[in-house]
Structure 1
């Protein structure tokens, strides 16, 4: 999301009561999904709080607005504009709101939020196994893992190295504007689809990305796009959902700019590998200080990475990656400094999302720098 210092005023378009014929809803209690916790956590970088409680973003090549009211998840979908056509409104309602098949839009949302997975039961199981989980779970209900498009997820997380969420969000926005298909314009803000592989494999793609402020990540984005296009393809990447976790991780780690942590983020957030536990130095410290996991060495070695992941998989079970999303979210207080650790630990979804999540930080003029 794009962080603002004060909430935007409510827009008529974002209220189901203003345009009831353009909105649908799914039954979904807050214990099963909290939009505010999930869409601001850094799992995806395409959502924006367009007005208080309303989230607008791009999903499946369409622009959506979502909001929650009690046990209902409301949504509306906007249609694509004609080339260079500006949005028109009548009585505050978008004239181009899409009239899509209701069963299909319901299916897309249920799949994206994995609503067929009963989260409340999982919270109970994790809490019974882990007292530390139990301490934080009541404060953070409804934190679930998204099921994203593998291409979008992969290239988004290639951009997360040594980065923070507001800057990543701005980078992904520029990427989509430069290489993606324009979808529509809301409140003078254009929305674009995520680029296709072919759009990122052009001869000038790396130079364009550098000009957009991607720095060293530019060669990883263009290089991985070429490697996938010339190898397994977008369809093959998606088919990794049916491959064993170890195989999917191995394939991803062979791509430029993809290490174990990014590979695990992609496995968890787009390839149905719920057991994937992304690990960074913050998770390593959490494992040592909060869980007493004794691992030797002064750095996060590949062996330590594997042992930490195995520890949490043993503790939380086959959906360990989901449990980690709750137990180490960006909302928890940092760990205090210790004699062996000179700086306070930031305890974010960094566990999952490989980014320094600084809630409330705006993109600045330095965002175009490498």
Structure 2
């Protein structure tokens, strides 16, 4: 079956799909190098994306939305998901004027966008991400969808499922089943956190976090079982529109210590005090979208992008500034 391609006007410098879809934000996108197409699932819909000639081309492969939903509905969904309403070129210019390292990084890592993800999927995906690597995280996320989501469609002999509702993940038997599926200690985190969210109002609870100030929202998220500062910041940044949130992991610590905060070099672990200092430094440097700016540096630091990006978009490793 062939599907119609639709187009959204999108300057090539405004969106780089590899850095955006494969940079550790979402774990449900795959890339076909032969066709240069991305296939993924969000908003209970299976998508194909391809960026060329300053247009983002997309197909809707299958959906759980009503069959009479018009194309404009899906175009709006995609624009919101990629936050295409934000003029990224303008922000890149602003961040470059404040920081020489960013100015260097953005030449190759242009168009890195923060996805506007559904909070339930984002939160439970990042619970899976704790002490884990990308391929295993992706496998765990797909297991959640297979066992607790709804089947959307079959395409090219692959079945696609929606991400499960928080109510499904709160069922008492979920923990033991996930342990049998290889989730380890994360199984208890998932089932217990889901139970808490349902008790606090489910989706409406997440909506209330969007209306709070960043630090208040972050504090509320950390009341969930198994949610620490980094995962809370990921949810704030990628789902709740708190774009000043800066998730600090080993990569971000190394970037900060090598280029901005030399007194932090050589530390064996990131303490709570260091975590706050690093986040505050980026917020002071970049302003209220610090989380987005830091994500560009994060992508530039990842070896897989240094090795695998095309020459046009990723010509080499960002040179670190020594102090």
**Would you say same fold, with TM above 0.5?**
yes
Q: Does 1:169 align with 2:144?
A: no
**In 2, Cα distance between the equivalents of 1:63 and 1:32?**
23
Listed as ranges, the matches of 1:1-370 within 5 Å are: 13=2, 19=3, 22-50=4-32, 52-80=35-63, 100-295=69-264, 298-329=268-299, 332=302
Summarize the Cα distance change of 1:69–1:301 in structure 2 as closer, same or farther, 3 Å threshold: same
Which moves more between the two structures, 130-139 or 70-79? 70-79
**In 2, Cα distance between the equivalents of 1:102 and 1:176?**
25
The answer to whether the Cα contact below 8 Å between 1:36 and 1:53 also exists between their aligned partners in 2 is: no
Moved over 2 A (4+): 78-81, 292-299, 330-334
**In 2, Cα distance between the equivalents of 1:263 and 1:52?**
36
CA displacement 1:90-139 (0-9 Å, x = unmatched): xxxxxxxx663122111101100001111001111111100011111101
Summarize the Cα distance change of 1:112–1:80 in structure 2 as closer, same or farther, 3 Å threshold: closer
The answer to whether the Cα contact below 8 Å between 1:62 and 1:183 also exists between their aligned partners in 2 is: yes
The answer to whether the Cα contact below 8 Å between 1:79 and 1:99 also exists between their aligned partners in 2 is: no
Q: Which structure 1 segments of 5+ residues have no match?
A: 1-11, 14-18, 82-97, 335-345, 348-370
Tell me the CA shift for residue 79 of structure 1: 3.4
SS at match of 2:292: helix
**In 1, Cα distance between the equivalents of 2:192 and 2:228?**
14
**In 2, Cα distance between the equivalents of 1:272 and 1:183?**
28
Tell me the CA shift for residue 295 of structure 1: 4.1
Summarize the Cα distance change of 1:125–1:64 in structure 2 as closer, same or farther, 3 Å threshold: same
**In 2, Cα distance between the equivalents of 1:275 and 1:138?**
23
Alignment RMSD: 2.2
Q: So what's the TM-score if we normalise by structure 1?
A: 0.78
The answer to whether the Cα contact below 8 Å between 1:159 and 1:217 also exists between their aligned partners in 2 is: yes
Q: So what's the TM-score if we normalise by structure 2?
A: 0.89
Q: Which structure 2 segments of 5+ residues have no match?
A: 307-323
The answer to whether the Cα contact below 8 Å between 2:125 and 2:141 also exists between their aligned partners in 1 is: yes
- Structure with greater proportional helix content: 2
**In 2, Cα distance between the equivalents of 1:291 and 1:78?**
45
